[in-house]
Amino acid sequence: MANQSLNVTLIQPDIVWEDKPANLRQYEQYIAGIRERREVVVLPEMFSTGFSMAPEGLAEGMDGATVQWMKDIARQYRCILTGSLIIEEEGRFLNRLVWMQPDGKYGYYDKRHLFAYAREHEHYHPGTKRLIAQVKGWKICLQVCYDLRFPVWARQRRAGAEMRRGAEDAGSTPEHTGMSVGMRTAAGDGGNGREHTGMGTEMNAGPEYDVLLYVANWPEVRSLAWKTLLQARAIENMSYTIGVNRVGKDGKGIYHSGDSSVFGPMGELLWQRSDAAVCHTVTLDKEMMIRKRERFPFLEDADPFMIL
């Protein structure tokens, strides 16, 4: 339905450096304390450890304890839970965002742009495809931290116009949430989508997504770039744009001011919080977004392109 709203809860924590049990405990407390309807709950980048370059001692498989914790929490609170963590797969370490559904099915996105300034590229393997998840008729493009600096990777493409794409529909409509959830991927290999399940469903023509979501460990020293680029991504893609960051000092003494933010499809600031650990729920209005896109059809004038 065009007027369907979506609750997104942003958790901006002070991550305990490389201490998974302590971090998972604090997230459970935050999630248990949410008073609004829980629909999509967002944790930051490397939410269980902080932005660590020591994956050898911290990585898990997709059958590991942290992914299982995500399954348990999503099922218990009947919500979607997302954030990135350190995964090992086929001998490679990945900064992987997991989109966990309440029925235990999930999609994932491996961070494409690795932060060479912190030598992330020496420890982790980059991803090659985007993930666009679906819930309640909303399409959400999922990205991680440094991806924010590269607008082409996030740029709206008219669905069905320039590229073939894979799709995955989890086929789950939990009665307790009313959510219809699913995932599709769009690859950066000439536009050939690769699906997790082989279900090749096409999306309707129009913008690829309604919400652009970044999870991050973005330091305070570059907070101006963080806030400016989030707003720019919202304006150029005419989508809600959400950034979920951490606060406090990490294990290297680097301070993070948070500045988790929600921008509307015209770039208007809807919510932002700095220098405090916080859990906040924002309700997104799809009807308003559609009205803005219809009144200002700027996306129709965009140049067609393909990521090679």
Beta strands in 70-144 (DSSP E): 80-89, 92-100, 106-110, 129-135, 138-144
Rounded Cα distance, 129 and 122, in Å:
20
Handedness of CA 204, 196, 5, 302 (dihedral sign): negative
- Cβ burial of 5 (10 Å; 0-12, 13-18, 19+) is middle
H or E stretch covering 265? none
* Residue 122 among the catalytic residues: no
Contact (Cβ atoms closer than 8 angstroms) between residue 52 and residue 95: no
* Residue 111 among the catalytic residues: yes
* Residue 145 among the catalytic residues: yes
Backbone angles phi, psi at 59, to 5 degrees: -70, 150
Strands 181-187 and 269-274: unpaired
Out of 111, 136, 139, 227, which one is annotated catalytic?
111
H or E stretch covering 40? strand 40-42
Shortest CA distance to 37 belongs to which of 176, 156, 132, 160?
176
**Unique residue bearing structure tokens 């901006």:** 12
Out of 141, 145, 168, 227, which one is annotated catalytic?
145
Listed in sequence order, the residues at least 6 apart from 224 whose beta carbon sits closer than 8 Å to its beta carbon are none
* Residue positions annotated with a catalytic role: 45, 111, 145
